[in-house]
Amino acid sequence: MKNKSVIIIGAGVAGIEAANNIAENGYNVTLIEKENLLGGNLKNYAKLFPDFYEAGEVKNNLINKLNSENINVYNNNEITELFFENNKWQAVNSQNQKFLADAALLTTGFTVFDAKRKEELGYGIYDNVITSLEFENMYKTGKITTKQGNIPERIAFLNCVGSRDEKVGNHYCSRVCCINAVKQASEFKEIYPDSQAYCFYMDMRMAGQFYEELYRKSQEKHNVIYIRGRISEAAATLDNKIQIKSEDTLSGLPLKMTVDLLVLMVGIEASIGTNQLASQNEINGEYGFAKSKGLYGNDNITNKKGLFLAGTCKRPLTIPETIADAKAAANQIIKYLNQI
């Protein structure tokens, strides 16, 4: 019975957590990752909201548990096809190599929105317009500077870049960017207390535990200035600063200012793998995400027998939510493998 197996596609937070849980129960796990390094999007972050926990520690704790002999990890393997045939789930990589198992778990996750698509914000045109991911990278190296190497005296964070935006086809909220902006603005002010941080928002969605507290602290301790309005236009000035325009919607007046660095809080989109593999199995939902059978108790199973889902391939989720979801998926998969 115990030689039954599962393929997990994507070794990010959800994939690794589920692999560990399933392997602990004695089943064989094939964990497949398209990149060289494991950890998925978690690799891109330095510290996590709302408690500034080291992202690297979360990642290492996950990966360290992968030493079970029941788990085979295949990195640098991009799965391009996933289908059920001859009573097996079959995953095919770009070199046409096949992986077979009794069940399959999609943990193909998300990718961040391509900020170039918001042309008016000048990303990819002006050096000092960066994304929240690039901010994380700078924070990791401990050097948050302009392209010219100067300490930013003024930094602005813009929320909802690629989220809640009909123009790019994404009506949904990415859920993590608001709190991420609060986190990054606070981190910035910890390093440069004499600089000024501005945060432009449509709504501040502080729905997680301790989010509101972090928001409040960012005002009280770090003097982060929140302006309710969407930046409509960014342009470089002669001295390589960025002039931004917005409405201060609470006063009803247009507002403009120049900042040294503009950080675009890029939203969450379904990854190419998520979109591709979900479509092949007719479980594609809205906006390219994968669709579970139902939200209430059926959120890890799909309309395809033996095909399971976990994590951000379904929708934007935080890391604790993803871990919990992966554990739930593992539970469902174990139950399924016991039955067949």
DSSP run (H or E) holding 165:
none
CA 303 remoteness from chain centre:
25
C-beta separation of 291 from 284 below 8 A? yes
Closest separation in Å from C-beta 152 to other proteins? 15
Q: What is the DSSP letter of 218?
A: H
C-beta separation of 271 from 313 below 8 A? yes
* Listed ranges 28-36, 128-136, 157-165, 225-233: which one lies at the site for other proteins (CB under 8 A): 225-233
* Listed ranges 24-32, 41-49, 65-73, 253-261: which one lies at the site for other proteins (CB under 8 A): 253-261
190 is an interface residue for other proteins by CB under 8 A: no
Closest separation in Å from C-beta 126 to other proteins? 9
303 is an interface residue for other proteins by CB under 8 A: no
235 is an interface residue for other proteins by CB under 8 A: yes
In the numeric block, the tokens 């494991």 are attached to: 38
Q: Which two tokens stand for residue 277?
A: 């593999």
Enumerate residues 96-135 that contact other proteins by CB under 8 A: 116, 119-120, 124-125
* Alpha carbon distance 278, 214 (integer Å): 36
C-beta separation of 231 from 158 below 8 A? yes
Q: CA-based angle 309:311:317, to the nearest 5? A: 140
Nearer to other proteins, 54 or 213 (CB): 213
216 is an interface residue for other proteins by CB under 8 A: yes
166 is an interface residue for other proteins by CB under 8 A: no
Binder to other proteins among 193, 254, 297, 320 (CB under 8 A)? Answer: 254
C-beta separation of 265 from 180 below 8 A? yes
User: How far does the chain reach from its first CA to its final CA, in angstroms?
Assistant: 9
Nearer to other proteins, 227 or 290 (CB): 227
What is the C-alpha radius of gyration for the chain, rounded to an integer number of angstroms? 21
Closest separation in Å from C-beta 169 to other proteins? 16
* Listed ranges 9-17, 30-38, 145-153, 227-235: which one lies at the site for other proteins (CB under 8 A): 227-235
CB atoms within 10 A of CB 89: 25
Nearer to other proteins, 228 or 304 (CB): 228
CA 176 remoteness from chain centre:
8
237 is an interface residue for other proteins by CB under 8 A: yes
248 is an interface residue for other proteins by CB under 8 A: yes
Q: 295-331 burial, b for 16+ CB within 10 Å, e for fewer? A: eeeebbbbebebbbbbbbbbbbbbbebbbebbbbbbe
238 is an interface residue for other proteins by CB under 8 A: yes
C-beta separation of 92 from 98 below 8 A? yes
2 is an interface residue for other proteins by CB under 8 A: no
202 is an interface residue for other proteins by CB under 8 A: no
C-beta separation of 145 from 138 below 8 A? yes
CB atoms within 10 A of CB 11: 27
Backbone angles phi, psi at 325, to 5 degrees: -65, -40
Nearer to other proteins, 233 or 282 (CB): 233
Closest separation in Å from C-beta 226 to other proteins? 7
Q: What is the DSSP letter of 115?
A: G
Binder to other proteins among 25, 44, 258, 331 (CB under 8 A)? Answer: 258
Enumerate residues 71-90 that contact other proteins by CB under 8 A: none
Nearer to other proteins, 57 or 233 (CB): 233
Binder to other proteins among 251, 279, 280, 338 (CB under 8 A)? Answer: 251
* Listed ranges 92-100, 217-225, 280-288, 299-307: which one lies at the site for other proteins (CB under 8 A): 217-225
Binding site for other proteins (CB under 8 A): 116, 119-120, 124-125, 204, 216, 219-220, 223, 225-226, 228, 233, 235-238, 243, 248, 250-251, 253-258
